[in-house]
């Protein structure tokens, strides 16, 4: 189905983002006869309370795409990413190709790729303090002190073990190519629905990454005598205390990415990214 209404997000921290977003806005309205609105990334949470458009557009880098994708999952809107960042692994359209991309999108010539989010629930003394959705990962990590955290874990109620480490990454398949990859985790195809666990600098504890079965969740009991942090996609941070519990599972909400390439795009992009990494060494 061809979309008729668009909400375009620009990131003030990304050069050229606002200018290009305004140009795309004008093109959608004047050239393609669509309803379009342009706004800043800071307004993403406020937009969740308003009627949803047919499609969201993220103009920026991967950080922009992460934030807009979480809103898209909440609203049930697909997201088209236009890349202005250095890597832009999540975004579909290079900056120079946005005009051709719009022609295809308004004609309905695209497909939608679901992406699993992870959902984290933060508990303290039996009370829920907060909940967080993340496209890439939820991370429990030490604070400023260079001391490991102790994280007692269970998978669907069955004890797994205690991680003694700088942190524990709980990643989605999308997140397996982000922080999790840098920490030595495996690469998962993005359309899987498995959670992967990767310890950060483990000390005399579980060292290997673990891929959970589809539908499985993890409960993490925090054992610390110093500050620790819970973060979601590196954009939301919450302080953890001794005795806090964090439960993570697949979210009931999926993000939906607008794709113009064929289904083999992931491996092409991955090969290009790994080749780029090698060129820097």
Q: Which of the residues are catalytic?
A: 62
Asked whether 120 and 244 are in contact (CB, 8 A), the reply is no
Q: Measured on CA atoms in the order 185, 188, 193, 194, is the torsion positive or negative?
A: negative
Q: Are 210 and 195 in contact (CB under 8 A)?
A: no
Q: Which residues pair with 79 in a beta bridge?
A: 56, 257
d(CA 44, CA 9): 8
DSSP of 257-271: EEE-S-TTHHHHHHH
**Residues pairing with 249 in the sheet:** 119
Q: What is the crossing angle of helices 98-106 and 17-26, to 10°? A: 40
Closest Cα partner for 222 from 125, 151, 141, 119?
151
* 183 and 224 Cβ atoms separated by less than 8 Å: no
Strands 218-223 and 149-155: antiparallel
Helix (H) / strand (E) containing 112: strand 111-124
Beta-bridged to residue 167, according to DSSP, are 141, 200
70-71-76 Cα angle (round to 5): 100
Q: What is the distance between the alpha carbons of residues 169 and 237, in angstroms, rounded to a whole number? A: 14
């Amino acid at each position: 189905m061809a979309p008729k209404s668009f909400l375009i997000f620009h990131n003030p921290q990304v050069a050229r983002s606002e200018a290009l977003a305004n140009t795309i806005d004008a093109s959608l309205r004047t050239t393609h006869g669509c309803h379009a609105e342009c706004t800043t990334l800071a307004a993403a949470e406020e937009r969740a309370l308003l009627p949803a458009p047919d499609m969201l557009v993220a103009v920026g880098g991967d950080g922009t795409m992460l934030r807009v994708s979480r809103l898209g999952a909440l609203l049930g809107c697909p997201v088209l990413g236009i890349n202005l960042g250095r890597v832009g692994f999540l975004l579909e359209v290079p900056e120079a190709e946005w005009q051709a991309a719009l022609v295809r999108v308004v004609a309905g010539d695209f497909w939608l790729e679901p992406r699993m989010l992870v959902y984290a629930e933060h508990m303290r003394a039996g009370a829920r303090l907060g909940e967080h959705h993340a496209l890439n990962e939820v991370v429990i990590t030490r604070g400023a002190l260079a001391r490991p955290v102790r994280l007692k874990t269970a998978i669907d109620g069955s004890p797994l073990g205690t991680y003694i480490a700088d942190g524990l990454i709980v990643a989605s398949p999308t997140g397996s190519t982000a922080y999790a990859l840098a920490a030595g985790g495996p690469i998962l195809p993005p359309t899987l629905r498995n959670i992967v666990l990767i310890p950060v600098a483990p000390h005399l504890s579980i060292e290997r990454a673990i891929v959970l079965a589809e539908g499985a969740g993890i409960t993490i009991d925090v054992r610390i005598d110093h500050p620790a942090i819970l973060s979601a996609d590196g954009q939301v941070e919450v302080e953890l205390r001794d005795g806090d519990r964090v439960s993570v599972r697949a979210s009931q909400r999926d993000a939906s990415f607008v794709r113009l390439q064929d289904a083999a795009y992931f491996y092409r992009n991955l090969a290009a990214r790994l080749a780029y990494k090698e060129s820097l060494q």
